[in-house]
Each structure stands twice: as structure tokens, then as C-alpha cells.
Amino acid sequence: LLAGGMTEQILDSAVRSFVYEILFYHSQSADILCDKDPFVLKYASYISSIFPRSKFILVVRDARAVIHSVMTRKVTITGFSLTDYRQNFKLWDKGFAVMYDQCKEVGKDRCLMVYYEQLVLQPKQTIENIIQFLNITWVDDVLHHEEFIGKKISLSKTEHSSDQVVKPINLEALTKWVGHIPVDIIREIDKLAPMLRTLGYDTKSKVPSYGIPDELVLKNMNRLKNNAKFWNAKAKLYARKLPNTTDF
């Protein structure tokens, strides 16, 4: 390409236009264009160079919860197995290390690390930090997304998480993995996924403590418990219908 006169600047301009067209025409009414694919972070350094005003949010979650979710919900990610825990933890560690390094390379002004556990335990404080980072205006609606499903917010029935998103912010998925990962894998976790320790996760306790939920979350948990039939029926409406494949 270079020999044919296709310079780096031309290629960057072409990639920028291609990405922008997809994002813009997918949501023409949006003031801020977003892409929630987590693997974009693997290329944060390059993307930040062609989109100089872009910002990135790296959502960090306990790999044990991630792998348990992937395997039990049968999420098909290239390279991952639905039966091999060792393979999956090694792939998660390798992939997340790249995203972690990319986030650090881009810098704190443009890449914010957000812990999933804190997002669901302390949503108001965590979302306030996100909104400040993005330099946008706070609205209380962000704490009650479930009220806008099917209205301002549309969900796809092909997404694995849609049946969870219809519910208010809750702790249901926080420790679902506990007791379901083979003991030998848990013993080897520091070797299989050393990034867990780097990220500050407790890999020694059988049931790690992620923190204390705030008042809003406690109220949400009571709502879910007291109206279980309603919320379960709503979740079934958005249960995944088609296979979903992602490249890692």
C-alpha cells in the first residue's frame, strides 16, 4: 500500500471516516457517539490518535465472575471454551493485560477504569465519577435505567445481558460464580490469571468481599425480592434468542 502511494495519513483518514459513518448513522440523534464493545480497548492507543477527542471506559470485573458467566450463559467468544476453565482464564488474562496497558498508555484524562463491583455496590458515587470524566450533565435517570426500557432505551433480544439489564441495579450477578468453579482451578488462579492480583482482587478468600452496598441498591434488592414474579417475567421477554459471537 505504501509503495502505491497510500500513506499512513490516508489510511488513518479512511479508518476514521469508516468508523464515524457507522456510529453516526446507527444513532443520528445522539449528542455523543458511543460503542460499548469492550475489545475496542485493545486498540485504544490507535483509536485515540485518529479520534483525538475520544474517551475510553475500561470496565474491570473479577475474572472468576466473567468466566463463570461466559460458560454458564454459553457466550461464544473466539478462542474461549465452554468447558475448559484453564484455557479461558489464560485467555482472559492475556486479553485484559493488553487492555489494561492500553488504558494506562492513553492516560487518566482519556481512559477511566471502572470496577463493575463498585458500579453495582455504589452506583451513585461510581456513575458520578463517570459523568464527571465524560464532562456531561448529571441526571437522576441514570440510577433508574429500568424505567426507560422499551421507551428511551431499546434492547436487543440477541444480547446475552438484556434479560439482566431490564432489572434495576442489583447484586444478583456479583457472587454467582462462588462454589461453581472447580477447586483445582481456584487453587491455581494466581498462576492462571495473575492480572486479578494486579487489579486488587482477593484471590485467597472462598467468598471475597467486594464492599458494602448503598441504600439505593438495598432498596432495589427488596423490590426484586418482593416482586420476583414480575421481574422474572420481564427478564424472560428479553431472553436471548440467537447465538452471539465475539472475537477476543
State residue 239's pLDDT score. 66
Looking at residue 115, what DSSP letter applies? E
State residue 163's pLDDT score. 62
Taking CB atoms within 8 Å and a gap of at least 24, the contacts of 121-128 are: 121/171, 121/174, 121/210, 121/211, 121/212, 121/213, 121/214, 121/217, 122/211, 122/213, 122/214, 122/217, 123/169, 123/214, 123/216, 123/217, 124/214, 124/216, 125/214
* 60 Cβ contact partners less than 8 Å away, ≥ 6 residues apart: 113, 114, 115, 116, 199
**Do residues 99 and 37 lie in contact, with contact meaning Cβ atoms separated by under 8 Å?**
no
DSSP helix/strand/coil, 78 = strand
CA separation (Å) from 157 to 147, 162, 235, 241?
Answer: 18, 7, 10, 6
State residue 188's pLDDT score. 98
> pLDDT of the chain along its 248 residues, tens only?
777 778 889 999 999 999 999 988 887 678 889 998 899 999 999 999 999 999 999 999 999 999 999 999 898 888 999 999 999 999 999 999 999 999 999 999 999 999 999 999 999 999 999 999 999 999 999 998 888 777 666 655 555 555 667 888 999 899 999 999 999 999 999 999 999 999 999 999 999 999 999 999 999 999 989 988 888 887 787 765 545 555 55
**Do residues 85 and 218 lie in contact, with contact meaning Cβ atoms separated by under 8 Å?**
no
Instruction: Match 440510577 to its residue by C-alpha cell.
Output: 143
SS3 breakdown of the chain: % helix, strand, coil, rounded to 5? 50, 5, 40
State residue 53's pLDDT score. 95
**Do residues 224 and 167 lie in contact, with contact meaning Cβ atoms separated by under 8 Å?**
yes
pTM for the model stands at: 0.87
Question: Going from the N-terminus, what domains does the chain have, and what CATH number goes with each?
Answer: 8-247 (3.40.50.300)
Cell output for 140: 437522576
State residue 242's pLDDT score. 44
